[in-house]
Structure 1
Amino acid sequence: MEFGIYTLADIETNPQTGKTVSAKKRIQEILAAAKLADELGLQIVGVGEHHRLDYAVSSVPVILSAIAQQTKNVQLISTTTVLSTVDPVRLYEDFATLDLLSDGRAEIMAGRGAFIESFPLFGYDIKRYDELFEEHLELWQRLNKEERLSWHGNFRAPLENAEISPRATKEIPTWIGVGETLESARRAGRFGTGLALVILGGNPQFFLPLVEAYKLEFIAAKHPIENYKVAITGHGFFAEDGQKARDEFYAYYRNYWGNVNKQHGMAFHMDREDFEKATSPNTPLFVGSPDEIVEKILKQHELFEHTRFLAQLDIGGQPFETVARSIELLALEIMPKVNQYIK
């Protein structure tokens, strides 16, 4: 199984100190985390986009290009690209450039994202989300294969024997990020992309129909079986002692969801009892000791047979030192133990 980390670059006040880092500092910490992950042998680093003042990254290819210059081996993936509100031609050019800068390490994960601010910002109609996503994905896949193409669609100017430059070292691996929507899982199967499940709550078993729908559509479309791939993504916080991990993370986790729900205009309350339930063995929240996390990953592997695990480790205003500890435990203890079991 491949292991990695990802960030959405949220800027939040540390609930322990009352201090908030600047966007500049937040980006510097993201670069440092990526460099550490690469040095410790993790395989993937992901960065997601938002277009809000409480997030530090809106230009994912720029940040991933900076990471490319400080790393040697990690795959560099967007987590996620809001595909409905980006021009696929510009997206391909940006990620092909990243691919050349990184010697073939670029990937994209496409999805809707947690917020909708990019739709009015870039002049797209949120009501046309599905149509935009399908058309942009279809064009992206052609751009990924063809250096010259003619194309006509409904949402952008046509292309007439257009030159698409530069060309990546190979086809850029593509994933679709899926939360709870069955149709999104089916779409990933129809288009032959990877499926990245974003599991942030609930019982992991509830997500099994998404994988099954993806697999059925993938097989029905007769895509090469080697392109079938499932990833699991979720929140994580690791410490040598499981109870210490829960004690430390509670304030950051409550802070994170309090802010996210406030941004959506929703009330939020989580007491310590709620949090303990959320971190229990049969939940998708990866908080605890390395052995506890290994057990959770292996349980999910029995369900999903996934080949990639990505942890979002830097939420809620944590200091970099805490994030770095989780990265170290993921790379040095969790990853080798999981792979020892599933070989």
Structure 2
Amino acid sequence: MSSMQFGIFTVGDVTHNPVDGVTISEHERIKNTVEIAKKAEEVGLDVFATGEHHNPPFVPSSPTTTLAYIGAQTEKIILSTSTTLITTNDPVKLAEDYATLQHLVDGRMDLMLGRGNTAPVYPWFGYDGSKAVELTIEHYQLLRRLWEEDVVTWEGKFRTPLQSFTATPRPLDGVAPFVWHGSIRTPEVAELAAYYGDGYFANNIFWPKEHYIRLINFYRQRYAHYGHGEPQQAVVGLGGQFFMRKNSQDAVKEFRPYFDVAPVYGHGPSLEEFSAQTPLTVGSPQQFIEKTLTFADFFGDYQRQLFLVDHAGLPQKVVLEQLDLLGEVLPTLRAEFDARRPADVPDAPTHAARVAARDAANATEGAEQVSA
């Protein structure tokens, strides 16, 4: 695997196709998601991630179920989330669900925690949305303890206390799943990621790069402050989106009607304005490669690049064609990113690498105790 991970993420929207007038069923959307994940592995991608939503028109309300099903039909691809709601999910259930997934797929998973962007979700699960940041911090601190400590006694503000509680199953190989913290606006989330030495995922698909440069630089500085390494060694992930055809004019013509109504960014700036301001590339494979390579110029060297491909009512056939095109440019992207990557920038985290690092640290510690 390359030192950088490339993959796709889905928000799982069921969107009316503005071109042929068809709206697929929830059943079709869920099954299509599985097909997309399998295709992602087939074309050589490293990661497939799904969001978590509890409201129409989105279908991924149960990420671990979906990812486990995909895991049974794939061999290499890392399965992740493009948001697991740390705010409205019970940390005990998160600890159990994701550790179970970790065992089922032999460690090829991680997760991205976030607050989501749907305010009404809080009361549905018995929480107060005005306490979102407090919930994020308390729930995550408990989740970490449940994975890292065999027996937990805990008391907090938002859930019932725990007395000598053991979350089961225990994490695979005694190493908890790697956690990314996804954020588009909240410094407190960047601070949390930095404190624990976790990954920070800036889903930079909405706004101009300057906004995200500030957040990522803040995270890098705080990561170093907490003693995890130099700022450039912090673990960063980015979002992105594209629509490619061999001929750039064909790409623009075909994608425009979908862009104009997309739930993620439709009804706002024009396609041209949005492409100029954000990572969106609508054009030829060469244009896509050139623009994607600029991301490291803005944000520094980073570890994970996820693209949004299947949304806005795009037909499944077109989404699979997009993945084929992504697969074709992938070797070039890998080679270019690897060639420019300084030696002191860490590789993207994997379960095997983290187990090896833990074992090496334990061996060093043991040798020091013997010599002392």
What TM-score do the two structures reach when normalised by structure 1?
Answer: 0.91
AA partner of residue 217 (structure 1):
R
Separation of aligned partners in 2, 1:138 and 1:77:
20
Per-residue deviation, residues 34-79 of structure 1 (Å, max 9, x unmatched): 0011122110000001111211110111111111111111111111
8 Å CA contact 2:204–2:278 kept in 1: the answer is: no
Correspondence for 2:225? 220
1:182 matched to which residue of 2?
A: 187
Alignment of 1:231 onto 2:237? yes
SS at match of 1:84: coil
* Aligned: 1:104 with 2:94: no
2-side partners of 1:254 and 1:167: how far apart? 47
Partner of 1:18: 21
Consecutive unaligned residues in structure 2, runs of 5 or more:
339-372
CA contact (8 A) 2:147 2:167 kept: no
Structure 1: which 5+ runs fail to align? 262-267
| Range that drifts further, 285-294 or 3-12 | 285-294
1:297 is aligned to 2:311: no
Please point out which of 264, 267, 272 is paired with 1:276: 272
Cα distance in 2 for residues equivalent to 1:185 and 1:236:
26
Q: Give 1:264's aligned residue.
A: none
Q: State the Cα distance separating 1:227 from its structure 2 match.
A: 7.8
Whole-angstrom CA distance in 1 between matches of 2:85 and 2:233: 22
Q: Displacement, 1:218?
A: 0.9
Equivalent in 53, 71, 77 of residue 56 of structure 2 = 53
**Is residue 11–residue 317 contact of structure 1 (8 Å, CA) maintained in 2?**
yes
* Aligned with residue 165 of structure 1, among 164, 168, 172: 168
What's the CA shift string for 1:211-263, capped at 9, x where partnerless? Answer: 11001111111236698310111332222222222211111111114x877xx
Query: How many Å separate the matches in 2 of 1:340 and 1:260?
Result: 31
Which runs of structure 1 show a deviation greater than 3 angstroms over 4 or more consecutive aligned residues? 224-227
Worse-superposed segment, 37-46 or 235-244? 235-244
Whole-Å separation in 2 of the counterparts to 1:288 and 1:306: 24
Counterpart position of 1:240: 246
Matched, 1:36 2:30: no
Give the aligned residue type for 1:12.
T
Alignment equivalent of 1:120, drawn from 109, 115, 123: 123
310, 313, 317: which one aligns with 2:306 = 310
Partners of 2:177 and 2:268 lie apart in 1 by 41
Deviations, residues 7-50 of structure 1 (Å, cap 9, x unaligned):
11100110011111111100110000000111221100000011
Work out which of the residue numbers 315, 318, 321 in structure 1 matches 2:317. Answer: 321
Q: 1:260–1:285: structure 2 CA closer, same or farther, 3 Å change rule?
A: closer
Aligned partner of 1:250 in structure 2 is 256
Distance 2:95 2:328 in 1: 35
Determine the C-alpha separation between the residues in 2 that align with 1:90 and 1:183.
24
1:49–1:57 CA contact under 8 A, matched in 2: yes
SS in 1 for 2:82: strand
Give the CA deviation at 1:278.
Answer: 1.9
The answer on whether the counterparts of 2:9 and 2:307 sit within 8 Å (CA) in structure 1 is: yes
Q: CA 1:191–1:286 in 2, change beyond 3 Å: closer, same or farther?
A: farther
Deviations 1:181-210 (A, max 9, x none): 333323321232101111123332332111
Paired position in structure 2 for 1:132: 135
Cα RMSD over matched residues?
1.8
Distance 1:92 1:200, change over 3 A: same
Larger Rg, first or second structure (1 or 2): 2
- Answer yes or no: is the 8 Å Cα contact 1:83–1:110 preserved in 2: yes
Structure 1 CA distance for aligned equivalents of residues 227 and 134 of structure 2:
23
Letter in 1 for 2:38: K
